[in-house]
Structure 1
Amino acid sequence: MSTTGAAATTAQKRRVPIWDNARWIAITLMVMGHAILKLIAESDVAYEAYLFIYAFHVPLFVAVSGYFAKSGPPGTRQLHRLLTDIVFPYLIFETIWTLVRWLLGGNFWLDYATASWTLWFLIAIAIWRISLPYLVLLRYPLLISILISVGAGYIESLDATFTLTRTLGLLPFFVFGWHLRQRQLTGRWLALGPRVVWRWRAAALALFTALAVVIVLSIDRLRELKVRRFLLYDESYGTIGYDQVWAGVIRLCLILLAFGLIVAFLVLVPRRLTWFSKLGAATMYIYLLHSFVLFPFRESGVLDGPQPAWVLPAMMLLSVGISVLLSQGVVRRVFRPLVEPRARWLFRREPATLTGTIVLPPGEPR
């Protein structure tokens, strides 16, 4: 067996089904939330589904990313992957979206400081990965991240530049995911017997049921309170319309609720291999490409105004189909240069020393 083949086999053996399952379900919920957005203005049912999904799906996706984040000093390999997995795809897709807007009649203006639509996550995760090793040096990183998130909501000067509002607002969930791994909860959970597992799952189902009931019974009040805008973590309290000192309590409560929902979700995720486990390795493809599939629905006006009752479940089913389609091997092969650019030509072959000088091979002229 070749070295590459052996490495691939080892990587496959290391994959834990529960996390691949969680990844795929989480990204599918994200597609679903984006797909039904246009329906929420005219439909209470769509708004209820939207609030239910957004109460946990973005925090969940961030927490899963935090679970696999490294908190030690970054090495050359980590810095390399930060560029190839995050920075380069962001630059590529931000350029593509600029071209799309230009071709549709807009001005050609490259603005890499302001992310287009879903691309905010790439900027945020780059900042989270860089800052995590410093944050965990402190004694209470999770508590500090919560204080940062709540406090950021009071600063009206923070805006979407380099997605700072969302980066600071969602920081606790990245740290929360890291905490889950530090406590080695995956091994403990997989070691539990079926009876204990189903007790936990019953409690998780009860929590999600309670959330759904509260949303359905309070939908008018939730519209009035502008809860949806709080769940996006991309605005200050004052911008939403809350100038009161206690406005941060709303974000704090939503953060704590999301912590519970993240755990409840992970408890409900299948622990073994499923038909969609292998699709969990393609979440970045789904994330970056699904917006192009949904773009015509958002911009054509086909979903504007009141819609028949069947449209909501149809869009939800379409979201699952999109997630499955974009997980396929042929899609990954075609779009790999954009989603996973290796850009080997851009990196120098000789590493740098700690002082920044280049290490030359023996006998190389200086």
Structure 2
Amino acid sequence: MTTDAAPPAPSAPAGALDPGRLKRRIPMWDTARFLAVTLVVIGHAIQRQTTGSEHALALYTFIYAFHMPAFGVISGYFSSADTPTAKRMRRTFTDIVVPYIIMQTIWTVVQAVVEGGKEFNPTKPTWTLWFLLALGIFRLILPYLAQLRLPLVWAVVLSIGVGYFDNVDSTLSLGRAISLLPFFLLGWQVKQWGVFDRWYEASRRTVVRVRVAAGVVFAAWAVSCALWIPQFKEFDLHHWFFYDDSYSGLGEDAWWAGGVRFGLMLLATLLTASFLVLVPRRTVWLTQFGAATMYVYLLHTFLLYPIRESGVLAGEHSAWPFVLLMVLVACAVSLFLAQPFVRRGMRWLLEPKVGWLFRKDPA
């Protein structure tokens, strides 16, 4: 018997940012989605403070080591490698392409007004929008990669190899998509292996042991970030966790730079696994907000942008009490944007009805 067991996972092609259409919800994954997106908000909230505060940089480095890989794993877990149906292909437009164009247009206008000189360029995603394009790329190529032997190995090879090419950049999020592809493949592969099906049914003793080990992993990484942040800062470690620059762009164009990325990928995998097993398997208070992940992800930037651009987070406002304050603000923003009334009020913008885009289905 277990105290927090969850129902078996459904087979549904939903991503980390769009769980709303799942007919059978799994409490653990909804909770994980919301916690992951809250880490994103916290990271963006304290980013301006990292230049003046080692406390902020330590927390930032801690979060960035695994929060986007975790999103990749969650997205892959709920993705399908089957031949795309007409419905699934249309959802690529409605879930990714249309929201991306809308938000990219809005951000272009906002930045043009505030910063000036901004041109509309849909090939260069603004701020957080890169993940929408990356998710679209993941979904498109998964059926092809699934035909290969050891697809996860090929994804790792691609991720390490792309760092040696300076011409693969942020255009259409291609650099980040290829770099983070192994985590997406890992999520899909874990689903095929039935790892979490066994985790749902694991005994209480097993759960406790695994979670203690996961807690030790997190504690060890937290201590490392606290003690060695000067060395991490000198190495520019947090920029490696962005997965968007070539090795030469990171200042490390030696032949062994790919080994550094591989090591950081192993670290991200270990931290992501620890994160997921620490998430409660049963329904908790935060579970209800898992369906609003896309709204939190796409809208939190509008609330944080004025604070970040005002310059108020510089100087003495980078001290640790203000870092803690921004963490609390970020959590409040995440909770606010996950409320049902926000989803109802913003659905017209983030989930517009675009049936007129598609030709009549012959079927």
Do structure 1's residue 326 and structure 2's residue 345 form an aligned pair? no
Measured in 1, the distance between the counterparts of 2:196 and 2:322 equals 38
| Per-residue CA distance 1:109-153 (angstroms, 9 max, x = gap) | 210000000000011100110000001110011111011000000
Q: Equivalent residue for 2:346?
A: 335
Do structure 1's residue 65 and structure 2's residue 72 form an aligned pair? no
Measured in 2, the distance between the counterparts of 1:321 and 1:314 equals 11
Q: CA deviation at 1:265?
A: 0.7
Do structure 1's residue 235 and structure 2's residue 250 form an aligned pair? no
Q: CA deviation at 1:338?
A: 1.6
| Per-residue CA distance 1:185-223 (angstroms, 9 max, x = gap) | 222111011111000000000111111112222111111
Worse-superposed segment, 285-294 or 100-109: 100-109
Measured in 1, the distance between the counterparts of 2:115 and 2:40 equals 29
Measured in 2, the distance between the counterparts of 1:150 and 1:306 equals 39
Equivalent of residue 15 in structure 1, options 18, 22, 25: 25
Q: Equivalent residue for 1:6?
A: none
Which structure ranks higher in relative contact order (CA pairs < 8 Å, sequence separation ≥ 6)?
2
Q: Equivalent residue for 1:265?
A: 275
Worse-superposed segment, 154-163 or 303-312: 303-312
- Report the AA paired with residue 145 of structure 1: A
Q: Equivalent residue for 1:356?
A: none
| Per-residue CA distance 1:237-289 (angstroms, 9 max, x = gap) | 10111121001111000111111111111110011111111100000000000
Worse-superposed segment, 258-267 or 19-28: 258-267
SS in structure 2 at match of 1:238:
coil
Q: Equivalent residue for 1:103?
A: 113
Do structure 1's residue 299 and structure 2's residue 286 form an aligned pair? no
- Report the AA paired with residue 322 of structure 1: V
Measured in 2, the distance between the counterparts of 1:204 and 1:309 equals 27
Q: CA deviation at 1:84?
A: 0.3
Do structure 1's residue 29 and structure 2's residue 39 form an aligned pair? yes
Q: CA deviation at 1:108?
A: 5.2
Question: Greater CA radius of gyration, 1 or 2?
Answer: 1
Alignment of 1:205-220 (within 5 A): 205-220=215-230
Change (3 A) 1:106 1:212: same
Equivalent of residue 184 in structure 1, options 176, 184, 194: 194
Q: Equivalent residue for 1:131?
A: 141
User: Structure 2 unaligned runs (5+)?
Assistant: 1-19
Do structure 1's residue 119 and structure 2's residue 122 form an aligned pair? no
- Report the AA paired with residue 228 of structure 1: H
Change (3 A) 1:41 1:131: same
Equivalent of residue 247 in structure 1, options 251, 254, 257: 257
Worse-superposed segment, 170-179 or 299-308: 299-308
Measured in 1, the distance between the counterparts of 2:298 and 2:198 equals 33
Equivalent of residue 287 in structure 1, options 297, 303, 307: 297
Whether contact under 8 Å (1:43, 1:306) holds in the other structure is: no
SS in structure 2 at match of 1:240:
coil
SS in structure 2 at match of 1:302:
coil
Q: CA deviation at 1:301?
A: 0.6
Identity value in percent: 45
Q: CA deviation at 1:350?
A: 3.1
SS in structure 1 at match of 2:166:
coil
Q: Equivalent residue for 2:5?
A: none
Q: CA deviation at 1:102?
A: 2.2
Change (3 A) 1:210 1:78: same
Measured in 2, the distance between the counterparts of 1:171 and 1:256 equals 14
- Cα-Cα RMSD: 1.4
SS in structure 1 at match of 2:248:
helix
Measured in 2, the distance between the counterparts of 1:16 and 1:336 equals 23
- Report the AA paired with residue 311 of structure 2: G
Measured in 1, the distance between the counterparts of 2:206 and 2:21 equals 30
Q: CA deviation at 1:309?
A: 2.9
Whether contact under 8 Å (1:154, 1:236) holds in the other structure is: yes
Q: CA deviation at 1:104?
A: 2.2
- Report the AA paired with residue 83 of structure 1: F
Q: Equivalent residue for 1:150?
A: 160
Q: Equivalent residue for 1:354?
A: none
| Per-residue CA distance 1:303-338 (angstroms, 9 max, x = gap) | 122324311111111111111110111110111122
Measured in 2, the distance between the counterparts of 1:256 and 1:41 equals 27
Per the normalisation by structure 2, the TM-score is: 0.92
